[in-house]
Chains A and B, each alone.
Chain A
Amino acid sequence: MSEARLEAAEDRGVDIFGFVARFAPTLFLIVLMLLFAIMQPRFLSEINLFNVMRQVSITGLLAVGMTFVILTAGIDLSVGSLLAFAGLVAAAVAKGGMENRFTVGEGGVGYGWFAAAMAAIAVGLACGWLQGLAITRLKVPPFVVTLGGMSAFRGAALLFAAGGPISGFQPSFTWWGQGKIGPVPIPVIIFLVAAFIAHIVLRYTRYGRQVYAVGGNPEAARLSGLNVNRVIASVYVIMGFFAGLGAFVLAARLNSAEAVAGTGYELTVIASVVIGGTSLFGGSGTIFGTVIGSILIGVLLNGLVLMNVSSYIQQIIIGVIIVLAVAFDTFAKSRRRKV
C-alpha cells in the first residue's frame, strides 16, 4: 500500500512534500536560467545579471518585509502606494522643502541623504503601525485594511507632491541607488544584507519563532501566553520599514520620486514571497525562499524582455504563476492533513 509506505516514511520524519516544496523554487530558477541562457546568450553576461539583480532589489526588499506579513497569514496590498508616499517625503527632505523640487541640490540646500532615508523609513513605520493597529484593535481583516491603505497612501502621495515628481538629488543621495562596490550595485547589497538580517531574525530569535507560531495557529499561540496582537501589529511595522527603505533606494536610483511610483508592486512582491514557498495560510516559509522567488520573477521578466515578449504577456505569465504557486501550496497542505 502506497498510503502505508507514505505513512511509514512520515513516521521516520521524512516530509516528502515539505522537501519538494523547499527546493522547487530553486530548481525552477536554475531550469529557467538554463533555458534563457540557451535561447539568448546575452542573458548570462555579467552586465545583464547585475542588471537583473538591481531590478530585483527594490521589490526584493519589499518581499523580505512581506514575508513577515504573510507568515502571520496576513497580506499587505499597500506596499506600492506606501513606497511612493515615503519616496516623496524622502525627496522633499533631501531637497529641503517643496520650493526647489526640480533643482539639482547644491551646497547647503536640503538635509542630506541620511535625514532623507530616516524620513522615508519613519513614514513607512508610522503607516505600517497604523495599519497594524487597525488590524488588531479594530479587528478589520488585513486584506481590507491594506486595500484601504493602498488607496489612502497613494492619495497622500498625490496630495503631497501635488501630482508632480521631485527630482535632482546630490550625488551622496543618488549613490545609494546608482553606486557600486566593485561590480556590485549598492541596491543589490542593501537587498542581500537586509535579507540576511531578516533571515537571522526569523530563524534564530524568539521574535522570529513567535511570528511562525502566531501564523501557524493564533489560538494556540495565545493559549501559550504569546501576545498575538503585538506580533501581528509588528509585522506591518516591519513591512513599513522595508517600504520606507525601498522608497529611499528607489528614489536614489531614479534620481526622482513621484506619486505613481510602485504602482502594481504589491502583486510582484506577493508573487515573489508565494513563489518562494511561503504559505498564504501562514506559519511556513523562509527568507531564502523569498530571495529565490524575487530573483525568479526578475529573471523571468528579464528573459522575456530579452526575447522581445510583450509586457502585456509578461503580466499574464506572472498572474498564472502566482495562482499555480498557491495551488501547489494548497495541494501540499491538503496532502499533509490526511496523515
Chain B
Amino acid sequence: MHSALLRTSKRNSGSTTVLALLTVTIVAFIGATVLFNSATRFQASTVVGGWQEALSAAEAGADIGVANCRGTAVSGASGYSTAFNSANGWSLVDPTNAQGNNVTYSSPLGYSYTLPATCNVPVMYQSGQCSSKLWATVTVDGPSGLVDSYGNQWFRVRSTGYAALSGFHRVSLDTPTDPNARHTNELRKLSLVMNRFTGQRLTTPQATRTVEVILQPATAFGAAIVANSSLKAVNSGFRVDSFDSRDPNKSTNGQYDPAKFQQNGNIYANFATPNISGDIYGNVNDVGGDLQSSPNIHGQINNNQGFSTPPVLAPSWSTIQSTPGNGQNFQTGPVSAPLNYVCSGSLSVNIQAPAVGQTGAVNIWFTDDFTGSVTVPVGVICKIWITGDMKTPNINNMNNNAADLQFYGINPPNGGEQKWETKDTTGYYGLLYAPAAQIKTGAGDIYGSIIGEDVNIKNNVHYDEAFGGVGTVIDYARASWVEDPR
C-alpha cells in the first residue's frame, strides 16, 4: 500500500507539470501571436511615417539648393555672402571634371561659381516620430538643355531625402500575389537591405524620396512698373495694361494694339503706399500696405509682395571699341558678341544700321551724365549703361520692340540717387532699369517697363509680356516641381 501511495503521488505530480507546461505554452503562444501581430502592424505604420518624413527631408534639401541659386542673384538670399560656398558644405560633384560637365557661371552679384555642386544636409535627429533621424543630399546643375531662347541658364535642383527606418525589414502587410493587394509597395518604395539605386548594402533600412525643382531666371523686366521708394501715377486717364508681341491674338505685327490689350501690366511697390489712379489692368503689389479692391484695379491686390531689384554693377568688358567721333555712328557686332563702347560726355546715340535682314548689337556705357538723344535702327539691339543722371530729349526705337533698347542705371556708391528724365512726347519702345534713380517720364506712352527708386509717370505704360526673359537676371523662381517615382 505504501508503494502504491507513492506511485499515485508521482502520477499526480507529473500531470500537474504537464498541465503547467501546457498552460505556459498556450499563454506564450497567445502572447507571441499578439506581439507578432502588434509588431508587424506597428512596423508597417512606422514605415509609412518614415516614407512621408523622407519627403520633408527632400524638400528641406531642395530649399537649400533653391536658396543658393537665388543667392547668386539676390544678396543674402542664400543666408551667406556667396552661394555654393565650400565653407557651407558645397563641393563639386566631379572635382577633376573627368566628365567634362563642370561649368563656371558669373553671378550677377559679381563672383563666380561652378556647377554641378552637391551638399550633404546635416542629419536632423528627432524623437517621438516615425523615424529617428532624417538627412538629405542636394545637387544643383545647369544642363545645356536648360538654356532658354534668351540665352539664360535655368537650374536643376535635385534633392534626395532619407529617413532611417527601425525594426524589421518589412514594407507593409501587402502581399503582391494577393488579388486583394492594394499596391502599397508600388507607391512607397523603400531601401531595406540594399540601396535600390546603387546596389550597395545598407546598415540601416531607409525610406528615400527624391524631388526635382527647375528654377527659371527672373529678369529685370518682369513687371510693367517697379518702384522702390515712391510711385506717383495720378494723371487723368492713366492706364497700365499689357500685350504680347509674340502672339498675333495679343498684338498686331508685334506691336501694342488697344483692341487686343491684356491684363498683365503688373505694378510692384516695394513700400506701403503707392499713389496711383486710373485703370490698372494687372496686379498691384506693395509691401506692408493696405490697398483695397477698387473698380479701377482690374487685377489682384497683394499687400505683401515685393519685387527684387538688385543693384546694377559697372560693366567689365574685356574688349572696348574707340569712341566714335563727331558725325560717326556706333558700330554693331553679332548679337552673340556685341561691340562695347565706354563714353564720357554727352554724345547722342546714333548707330550704324546693319544690312537689310541682318541683326547687330551694341553695348554703350556712359561714365557720367547722358543728355543726348537715342536712335536705334531696325535690326539693332542696344543696351546703354549710365553712371550719372540722364535727361534725353528724344528716343526713337525703330524696331518698335522694347527689348531692343535697354537702359541700365549703375547704382551710385554710398546709396546716392540718380535723376533720370525722358522728355519724349511721342512715346517709345524701351526698358528702363535704374533701381537707384528718380525717374520722370515724358508725355508719350511707354511700351516697355520701368524700374526705379522714385517713379513719377505721366503717361500710359503698355507692358510686353515677351519681356519675361529679357534683361539682367535678378532672381530665380521655381518653374516646376516633380517627384521621382522610382
Question: Are A and B interaction partners?
Answer: no
Interface residues in chain B, defined as those with a beta carbon under 8 Å from any beta carbon in chain A: none
